[in-house]
Amino acid sequence: MAFTAKILLLGSGELGREFVISAKRLGCQVIACDSYAGAPAMQVADGFEVFSMLDADLLRAAIARHQPDFVVPEVEAIRTEVLADVEAEGVTVVPSARATMMTMNRDGIREVAAVELGLRTSRYRYAESLDEVLAGAAHTGLPCVIKPVMSSSGKGQSTVRSADQLEAAWDYAVANMRGDRRRVIVEEFVDFDYEITLLTVRTRDGVLFCPPIGHRQERGDYQESWQPAAMSAKAIADAEDMARKVVDDLGGYGIFGVEFFVKGEEVIFSELSPRPHDTGMVTLISQNLSEFDLHARAILGLPIPAITLRGPSASAVVLADRDADELRYDGLADALAVPGGEIDVRIFAKPTARPYRRMAVALGLADSTDAARRIAAEAAAKVRIHYGD
Ligand SMILES: Nc1ncnc2c1ncn2[C@@H]1O[C@H](COP(=O)(O)OP(=O)(O)O)[C@@H](O)[C@H]1O
Ligand SMILES: [Mg+2]
């Protein structure tokens, strides 16, 4: 075989695209899968498959057809039972079938973190009816956050400040959940000072950490991220300790995006992705090895002698503002010419736009995180999307 390994990538968005590039540089053959053609990762992969990864038969057939060494999920919405079966048959699922199953639903990972491992989380209850939502909110207190257990990117999620909003929040969660389990998590609203993603790499030689990444969320999606996030050595050590416990429990090799809320010196575990994290796109400029390079090396069992920060850095997203399937970009030259530091841009070349869809990201490296955030935001604002003809 001309390749170092064969990878079946499940999910072909912008994170998958950067992962494909990293894996290709190490000589891998990558088949990119998703439910629509022309997805970002498909454009740079060796081959592609278009099918619903929630369909057990189609997923099983794709794995059987390609006989990959590694199945690498990029998204949560996958029929994870199939991954458990193929893992039992000897295919390596990244990072592990258990990790994909436990993080597919919010209640899975919450039970691992809060109950099995005893980590500090927000107070919470699950609810499968309006009555249980009311009881859940009585337990957590108000404000509380209500989220479908099956959802991502903030879909179906709302913050409730008064009891008369609970019914609407339950209805909204049920209407916007993925799958058919009418189940929500009612969480105490954490009035955090800031939130971080701790990129945690589980390798054959041990667990490694990237410097913490700060980020700002709106409508359930990240708008900008920066690295390093200002955080005390004690808080970093606490977060690393919790992250290590969770990734060791989930098992396998690869990168994990472990999310925490920080209030004062208190670090509260929130959730995690057993794969590269969107806020971690900042590492495309900030580190010697990006989160995608780290994922590829960890999966392939290659050494990671050091993770070094090149300098204070930031990423800022470029969002579409309408539905369109004819797109044109300009302003790229202006974006790349923003002064004050190093600038880079990633255009994802998604085939269609819809309101708030992430289409590109601008990256900045400067003398301070504040300066990096400023130039990244400035560059992002210069990338303009034109719709239609
Ligand atoms: N309990 C909470 N208290 C305060 N803010 C929260 C809480 N849960 C979620 N959030 C906010 O909403 C964002 C998205 O929630 P998260 O649980 O990470 O869902 P997703 O899977 O959609 O990323 C978080 O990054 C945070 O900004
Ligand atoms: Mg999250």
Choosing from 96, 140, 151, 279, the catalytic residue is 279
Distance from residue 220's CA to the centre of ligand 1 (Å): 7
Task: Let me know if 22 is a catalytic residue.
Answer: no
Last residue of a domain, one of 93, 114, 138: 93
| 152 tagged catalytic | yes
Concerning whether 301 is annotated as a catalytic residue, the answer is no
Domain that holds residue 178: 123-188
| Per-residue pLDDT tens over the stretch 8-21 | 999 999 999 999 99
> Where is the domain boundary, 169, 188, 207?
188
In the chain, pLDDT over 90 holds for what percent of residues? 96
Domain end point (choices 188, 215, 235):
188
Instruction: Please report which confidence band the pLDDT of residue 152 belongs to, taking 50, 70 and 90 as the band edges.
Output: confident
For residue 253, being part of any structural domain is answered with: yes
User: Which tens digits make up the pLDDT trace of 184-224?
Assistant: 999 999 999 999 999 999 999 999 999 999 999 999 899 99
Ligand 1, residue 222: give the atom nearest the CA. Answer: 25
pLDDT, position 179: 81
Within-domain flag for 247: yes
For residues 172 and 244, state if they share a domain: no
Mean pLDDT of 70-78: 95
Atom 13 (ligand 1): residue with closest C-alpha? 220
Judge whether residue 301 has pLDDT over 90.
yes
Q: How high is the pLDDT of residue 389?
A: 66
Full 3-state SS string of the chain: CCCCCEEEEECCCHHHHHHHHHHHHCCCEEEEEECCCCCCCHHHCCEEEECCCCCHHHHHHHHHHHCCCEEEECCCCCCHHHHHHHHHCCCEECCCHHHHHHHHCHHHHHHHHHHHCCCCCCCEEEECCHHHHHHHHHHHCCCEEEEECCCCCCCCCEEECCHHHHHHHHHHHHHHCCCCCCCEEEEECCCCCEEEEEEEEEECCEEEECCCEEEEEECCEEEEEEECCCCCHHHHHHHHHHHHHHHHHHCCCEEEEEEEEEECCEEEEEEEECCCCHHHHHHHHHECCCHHHHHHHHHHCCCCCCCCECCCEEEEEEECCCCECCEEEECHHHHHCCCCCEEEEEECCCCCECCCCEEEEEEEECCCHHHHHHHHHHHHHHCEEEECC
